[in-house]
Structures are given as C-alpha cells and as structure tokens.
Amino acid sequence: MHKQDIQTIVSAARETADSIVGAREWKTAEDASAMRDVIFWDMVAKRLPDTNLADLLSVLD
C-alpha cells in the first residue's frame, strides 16, 4: 500500500472518530479521549489489518 493511501485512511479514521465522539456529551474529557482512541484504532485496524504500529508510524513520520 502506498504512503498516500495509508495517510488517507488515517485521516478518515481521525475525522470519523472526532465526529462520533463530538456528537455525544461525555462525563469527562478523559472518557471522550479514550473513546476517540478506541474508535480511531479500531477503524485503522480494520482498514490496515496487515500493518503493525511501528510500520504505520514510520510511514506517517
């Protein structure tokens, strides 16, 4: 997969996670942040199942 494709997937996952979390009222900022992280990483894992974290970070840096 090309670097641009990976960046597009990561950007879309960020936007989606932000939208989902932003559409709800949270008791604490920590809860909102934790849920955003869960949604983001779930989406990335589904779209890039054969990519490990180290590879993903090296492509994005």
User: What pTM was computed for the model?
Assistant: 0.80
Number of domains in the chain: 1
* pLDDT tens for each residue of 33-59: 999 999 999 999 999 888 888 888 887
Full domain range(s) for residue 31: 3-60
Closest CA to 55 of 9, 12, 6, 16: 6
Helices and strands in the chain: count of H runs, count of E runs: 3, 0
- The pLDDT value recorded for residue 60 is 75
Closest C-alpha to 60, from 3, 19, 17: 3
The confidence score (pLDDT) of residue 55 equals: 80
Q: So what's the pLDDT on residue 52?
A: 83
